[in-house]
Amino acid sequence: MSKKTMRAVEALQEAQKIAFAPYIFQATISLRKLGIMDFIFNSKNGATLKEIALGTSVSEYGVGVLLEIAESSDIVLINKDSKYELTKIGYFLAFDNTVNVNINFNNDICYKGLYHLNDSILNGKAEGLKELGNWDTIYEGLSKLTPQQNKSWFEFDHYYSDYVFKDALEVVFKRNPKLIFDVGANTGKFAITCCEFNEDVKVKMVDLSGQLNVALANAKKNGFENRIEGHEIDWLSENPQIPTGADIIWMSQFLDCFSKDEIVKILSVCANSMDKNSELFIMETFTDRQKFDNAKFILEATSLYFTTMANGNSKMYKASEFMTLIDKAGLYLVEDINQIGENHTILICKKK
């Protein structure tokens, strides 16, 4: 909505919604956790406050305060029989898969830490991370999160890449690679999917030691210990190196974990390990490549997770920003594929 069309009274209402946004968020968490949304959804033609309190074993006071703010926030409505029903917004908050993954991630990983956003920006450091553990970056702590935090982090992480792996594999295997380096292999999902897709390919997963051990154990569990191996690295160390010999170096949702200078360093190290035939694939969700404002909004909000919780200096980038970094690292773009799933782009690069 443009500045001109919004009336002052509406603008004030929006400003107050932001002022009280944490209340609306936490009320939503409670409405979900206490089973109130499910109960309302499953009641034919809605339910009264008394019925909801009885059905969920929550006090009338508790149900009442949650539903009052939920009604003002358009999460529920009161119908002509004076019963509560979910609105469309309420339905999505309760049952939409993407919203669900985002809510769990924001509550279990980001909520407490976000309080430290201002200090994170001032200090260029993820000051909110101390709410989860005593690590320099969240990646050091991934294998040490509590089971619930672990579930929320990995569901969020996988949600935004798993569904495009199938499309991505078609692009990767058009090149008929014999050896792929999966940089930022995480749980090994992509490496395992490659080995399931093609019976000859070998994959070297490149990651921090904690994550690499998890990924190697998963590769073994899937029977691929002879085709998937690991290379331990900390890209933030002084002189990180990777072996030579990859036909394709694959990076999915990886470079957004680093600052621009760090990205140039990582890409330069990769360029050094490449010959004139090897290719480097970068798969990302770029903010300037989204068809829908909703997707751009999610990515820009996710940048603040990187600021406060992940490392303090990375973000979700624009593709236009990556063009400069690729060039600086001694690479050039050979293909720019913009239709991977709904939100992803693959940039294919070669050594200059």
Name the site residues for ligand SAM (rule: CB under 6 A).
139, 142, 157-158, 161, 184, 186, 207-208, 211, 233-236, 252-254, 257
Give the separation between CA 303 and CA 313, rounded to whole angstroms. Answer: 9
Q: What is the CA radius of gyration of the chain?
A: 23
Which residue, 73 or 106, is less far from ligand SAM as judged by CB? 106
CB nearer ligand SAM, residue 254 or residue 322: 254
Q: What are phi and psi of 338, to 5 degrees?
A: -105, 5
**Which C-beta is closer to ligand SAM: that of 86 or that of 310?**
310
- 183: which residues sit within 8 A by CB, 6+ positions away? 206, 207, 242, 249, 250, 251, 254, 266, 270
Q: How far is the CB of 328 from ligand SAM (least distance, A)?
A: 19
Residue placing its CB nearer to ligand SAM in the complex, 231 or 328? 231
Question: Looking at beta carbons only, is 107 or 186 nearer to ligand SAM?
Answer: 186
Sequence-distant (≥ 6) Cβ neighbours of residue 310 within 8 angstroms: 126, 129, 137, 138, 139, 257
The least distance separating ligand SAM from the CB of residue 101, rounded to whole angstroms, comes to 13
Least spacing, CB of residue 189 vs ligand SAM, in Å: 7
Give the residue with the Cβ less far from ligand SAM, 56 or 187: 187
Contact yes or no for 254/310 (Cβ under 8 A):
no
Q: Minimal distance in Å, beta carbon 39 to ligand SAM?
A: 35
Residue 224 Cβ, how far from ligand SAM at the closest point, in Å? 17
Min separation Cβ 186 and ligand SAM, Å: 4
Query: Least CB distance from residue 238 to ligand SAM, whole Å?
Result: 12
- What is the rounded CA–CA span in Å between residue 109 and residue 34? 20
* Least distance from ligand SAM to the Cβ atom of residue 311, Å: 8
Please say which residue, 290 or 302, places its beta carbon nearer to ligand SAM. 302
How far apart are CB 209 and ligand SAM at their closest, in Å?
Answer: 9
Q: Which is nearer to ligand SAM, 70 or 142 (CB)?
A: 142
Q: Which is nearer to ligand SAM, 93 or 242 (CB)?
A: 242
